[in-house]
Structure formats: C-alpha cells, structure tokens
Structure 1
Amino acid sequence: MSIELPAWLGDDPGAPFPPVSRALREPDGLLAAGGDLSPARLLDAYTHGIFPWYSEGQPILWWSPDPRTVFRTDAVHLSSRFRRSLRGSRWEVRADTAFADVIDACASAPRAGQRGTWITTDMRNAYVALHGLGHAHSVEVFDGDALVGGLYGVAIGRMFFGESMFSSASGGSKVALAALAHRLRQWEWPLLDAQVENAHLLRLGAESWPRERFVATVEALCRQPGPPGPWTARFDHLPARDLAASAVASQVAR
C-alpha cells in the first residue's frame, strides 16, 4: 500500500506553494512540509488560504483544509444570557497593546484533547516579527490592568486570519472575538478565518465553506488595500458592555 506524502518546500521563501487542490484528504488539508516561517513565506501562505500548524520536533507543516471554518463579521453570535452579563461589565477591549502577552497566554492555555502547545518558540518569534511589520495583531480584553482574554491573527488587505485565542476569566475569548468582528464590520471587512471547525466556534456562529470558495474569496480580499501598522488607535477602546447591543443588532440584520 502506498502512502501519499505532502510536498517538501525548499529554503527559498519566495518559492510558490503547491496548488491547494493537492492537499491530502487524510490528514485533511495537509499540503506541504518544510520551508521556513519568514514573513514573506507566511504572507504568501495566508494569501493562498494556507497556514502553518505543527508540534515541537516536527518539520513545519502547512495546511489548507476542506471545508474551511469562517465567521462572517456580521454573524458572530453571543447568547442572550451572555449579552445580559455584558451590560454591567467593566471590561474594555483594545488592540496591539500587549501582543506578546496574548500569544504567550494562547501558548499556555490548556486545550481539550491536547498536551503541550503548537505555538513553538519559532512560531512565537515568527508572529512577533509579523506584528512588528504591522501584519499580525492582537485583540486584548482587560479588567482594569488584568488581561482576561484575547486573540491574535494576521491581517492582509481586508482579510483577517485568526490564529488562537484564550480566556483567563470566563467569556474573555468570546468578548475578544465579538469585539474583533464588531470593528471589522465597521471597517467593511466581511470575513474572519477560523481555520478548523470545533463545537465552540459553531456555537458562536462559525460556518463551513468549501475550500474553493474560501480561497477565491480570500485572494480577492487580500488584494484590496488595508491600512498598515498597529491597530491601537484605529481600534480604540471598546467597552465590552457595548457589545451586548451590537451583537443584537448584527443578529437582527441577518
């Protein structure tokens, strides 16, 4: 019995990825191995619907699963009970004020069914470098001076690719996601990539798109102009209690 293997990438960060149609069915979406995590390679990957995901001791693995899990930015769902809890919340959401803290918290957050983390030292350093170039961003939820939730990901053009999120207080990651969707909707960014389906994302309104549709949409959005640099001033400070009303409005609009 022959075993199908992914393509192996060389050292040139400008070398193209294989077409995503060549990704394996098992494991779903494995497209290539090797290469590096340089900014050029990462930006090229995301633009074509590809992302890195691997564990310590493995080569870099590149994925493009089918289907792909996404959020429409006008369709993130917060339950009525959770929205009610936000009305009296003192939490505040900001962007790009604590990127390293957010990625470290995501790396150390326990995950059901997982031991250890896929956010290796090399992965952390690669996304910190992308943050310095204005392409990777964090959304942070604060209770006073305490960081209680957040997420980070990559922005290209008018497309945001979510990478990971965490909560150190109940609901912290939900607020980060809802706040990000709220701002992206205001900026007329229609889509947020969530990569791989799980029950929690589906409860929050995630959808499954065929890879072909996802890749075509992403390539078009990535070609559109998006402002470079940090989001701190543009995102501003968003009180979590404001999300209770905005979540209702977006769900009614559907």
Structure 2
Amino acid sequence: MTVISSTNNPLYFIGQGDWEVPDPNDVSNDEGLIALSWELNPEMYDRLYPYGIFPWFEQEGVVFWFSPEVRSITATDQVKIAKSMRPYINGRKWRFSVNTAFEQVLEKCSAVDRPGQAGTWITEKFHENFMALHREGKGYSFEVWDGEELVGGTFGVITGAVFVGESMFHTQTNASKYAYIGMCQYLEAHGVIAVDNQLPTEHLDRLGAMNIDREEFLEVMLHHAGLVSEDATIPRSDNYRLSL
C-alpha cells in the first residue's frame, strides 16, 4: 500500500498490488478522505465496506475513498413511518418489489438532478462495479411501482448483517420514502440489523436514522459486518406488503 502524504495521518493509495486496508481512524482532514485508487472492483468493496470506508466519487479517473467522522445509520427495526405515509401503506397505492429491476434503479438514481451537484457520482466505473456486485449476489435494489411504471427506488450492497445504502430516487412524491421504509422492513425480516446510510441528511433523520461518531459506528460494523458474519440472504420478491 502506497502512502502519498507526508503528514502524521497519511493518505493511502489502494487497490493495486499487495495492498492493505487502511485504519479507518487514520484520517487527517475534516471531510474524512482516507484513500485514492485508480481501480474500483468488487474485492475492494468486500474488504473496505466492513470498515466503513466507501468510495464517494470519481474525478479524472481517480476514485476518492472516505471514512467520515459522523455516520448515519438506521436500525432496521426503528424505521419511522410518518402520518403522511400511512395512506400510501394502507391504501396500497404502490407495489413494492425487491431486486427485480436493479439496473433500472441504478440508472434512475444516476439520472436524478441533485442540488449542489454537477452531474452524477455514478460514473461508468461505478455503474460497472455495482452491476458486478449485483451479479455476485451482493448488490440489491428495492423498487416502488405505480402500475408498470418505476416511480421510486433505492439500492445498495450487503456486508454481513449490515446493508450499505448507496442512493435513492423518486418520480412521484414520497416514493423514495416508501422505498426506504419497505427496504428496512424487508431487511429486518431477513436478518439485517442496520442500514449504513454513509452520510447524514435531514431526509434520513426523519425516517429514523441516527447520527453517530466513527468510533461507535465501527463497533457496530465490528460485530455485524462481513468480516465476522456471512452476508445475509435477501430473496427476490415481486410484491411485498409494507406494514404500519
């Protein structure tokens, strides 16, 4: 593993040759940037996600990996259902499915215009790797349908009993919330204890996410992530009913 900084808390270059996983606490900047790589492949996700190190974006072919001080995490049995969401669940306005349209969800997430972002972080390199993880049984999607139209969804990667959420989208109001609630309920039913949201947002806070420091987050990962337990099995479903 190549060190490319002369500070006491170095920045690492990973993914080539015989590389080691950086210490996730070995961060010397406020943003949590810990490593860079030219490559992005499923092995890197397998080795780095249990330590909470994730790739945030790619710039000029370089992938930037982060280990932020503050993390957002949702216990799957603690997801919050606002009153405004109850009519959607009771009325079964939408159909919720699991892992039936992974690439569609991925493409919809990459096409969303997000405030303060120029373009998408889901570049071709990220797209190829998420598809590879999906083929390996590690990448999963959760979809919301209005008839035959995909109106909301989210996707991510499983590591042990923790699901790492990557992105979500909606084309109808509240469809991404519906996807997130359904995801948590379905994951809980299949042995997943938490969703690693990576970064805090007010939207996730309203859905039951907790913001915790890196040390506490790593304790969760130490006990439940892929290094200490087999990946949870998340079966495909064409029509899962959410509950209040």
Same fold (TM over 0.5): yes
For residues 29 and 211 of structure 2, the distance between their equivalents in structure 1, rounded to whole angstroms, comes to 16
Secondary structure of 1:89's aligned partner: coil
Cα deviation, residue 17, structure 1: 2.1
Partners of 2:156 and 2:163 within 8 A in 1 = yes
Give the structure 1 partner of residue 3 of structure 2. none
Shifted more, 143-152 versus 51-60: the winner is 51-60
Give the structure 2 partner of residue 249 of structure 1. none
Cα deviation, residue 85, structure 1: 3.7
Identity %: 32
User: Does 1:25 find its partner at 2:35?
Assistant: no
Residues 1:31 and 1:224: Cα distance change in structure 2 (over 3 Å): same
Give the structure 2 partner of residue 252 of structure 1. none
Equivalent of 2:12 in 7, 11, 16 = 7
Point out where structure 2 has 5 or more consecutive residues left out of the alignment: 1-5
Superposed CA RMSD in Å reads 1.9
Equivalent of 1:183 in 172, 182, 186 = 186
Q: Deviations over 1:9-42 (max 9, x none)?
A: 2513x6222101112332x211101142111111
Partners of 2:72 and 2:200 within 8 A in 1 = yes
**TM-score, normalised to structure 2's length?**
0.90
Q: Deviations over 1:117-137 (max 9, x none)?
A: 100010000010000000010
Output the amino acid matched with 1:7. Y
Matches within 5 A, 1:54-73: 54-57=57-60, 59-73=62-76
Output the amino acid matched with 1:23. V
Give the structure 1 partner of residue 230 of structure 2. 225
Judging by fraction of residues, say which structure has more strand: 2
Secondary structure of 1:237's aligned partner: strand
Residues 1:10 and 1:221: Cα distance change in structure 2 (over 3 Å): closer
Equivalent of 1:164 in 155, 163, 167 = 167
For residues 88 and 164 of structure 2, the distance between their equivalents in structure 1, rounded to whole angstroms, comes to 28
Shifted more, 172-181 versus 215-224: the winner is 215-224
Partners of 1:93 and 1:179 within 8 A in 2 = yes
Cα deviation, residue 86, structure 1: 3.0
Point out where structure 1 has 5 or more consecutive residues left out of the alignment: 246-254
Judging by fraction of residues, say which structure has more helix: 1
For residues 29 and 189 of structure 2, the distance between their equivalents in structure 1, rounded to whole angstroms, comes to 37
